[in-house]
């Protein structure tokens, strides 16, 4: 977040309001369609220091994956994919933010299944609202496309006709409301 954004946020800590936020994903399935889902439990904070420098941290409970199909979700939690028993959370820690045209880029380190890699999210800041009696609320939208194989989710399930059952690229979309604490 640049100085213009952090001045609107103001100094202090903003906690992600999970009741008004979401983390969704989509991945190509059988080459011709997409499977979509969400992570239902996550936490995070945005802290703006006195000098305007922001820090962002977030944690996703991968055991809360919800694709709308219990059998598929159980497989996604297993060793072929997330190995959620051994790696129950994914973490993000921002390393920097910069303006890029009409949006921002949020760089950070993302850890999934014990593998940490740098990622860059496209970020839109939707502004600050006085809220509804519980304090100020800030809104953000962000997205990133990850290669699942970069994070050790390297199951290959090729199709006889070419392609794979599960695509390599996974799109993560975040809709975030943060409450000033």
Taking Cα atoms as reference points, which of 48, 76, 52 lies closest to residue 63? Answer: 76
Q: How far apart are alpha carbons 93 and 89 in whole angstroms?
A: 13
Beta-strand runs (E) in 69-159: 89-100, 103-112, 115-129, 137-147
Q: pTM of the full predicted structure?
A: 0.90
126 compared with 52, residue with greater pLDDT: 126
- b (16+ CB within 10 A) / e for 84-93: beebebbebe
Task: Summarize pLDDT for 133-145 with one digit per residue, the tens.
Answer: 788 999 999 999 9
Average per-residue pLDDT for the chain: 89
| Tokens 């997409």 found at | 34
52 compared with 141, residue with greater pLDDT: 141
Task: Summarize pLDDT for 87-131 with one digit per residue, the tens.
Answer: 999 999 999 988 888 888 999 999 999 999 999 999 998 988 887
- b (16+ CB within 10 A) / e for 150-174: ebebeeeeeeeeeeeebbeebbbbb
- pLDDT at residue 6, rounded to an integer: 55
Q: How far apart are alpha carbons 156 and 151 in whole angstroms?
A: 14
- Domains of the chain are 3-180 (2.40.128.110)
Compute CA distances 78 → 70, 83, 157, whole Å: 12, 5, 15
């Amino acid at each position: 977040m640049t100085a213009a954004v952090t001045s609107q946020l103001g100094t202090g800590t903003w906690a992600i309001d999970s009741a008004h936020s979401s983390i969704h994903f989509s991945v190509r399935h059988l080459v011709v369609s997409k499977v979509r889902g969400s992570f239902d439990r996550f936490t995070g904070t945005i802290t703006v220091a006195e000098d305007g420098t922001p820090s962002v941290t977030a944690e996703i409970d991968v055991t809360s994956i919800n694709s709308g199909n219990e059998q598929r979700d159980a497989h996604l939690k297993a060793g072929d994919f997330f190995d959620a028993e051994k790696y129950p959370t994914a973490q993000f820690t921002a390393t920097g933010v910069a303006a890029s045209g009409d949006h921002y880029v949020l760089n950070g380190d993302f850890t999934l299944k014990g593998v940490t890699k740098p990622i860059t999210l496209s970020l839109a800041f939707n502004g600050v609202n006085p809220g509804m009696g519980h304090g100020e609320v800030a809104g953000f939208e962000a997205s990133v496309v990850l290669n699942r194989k970069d994070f050790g989710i390297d199951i290959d399930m090729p199709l006889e006709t070419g392609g794979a059952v599960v695509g390599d690229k996974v799109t993560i979309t975040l809709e975030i409301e943060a409450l000033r604490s």
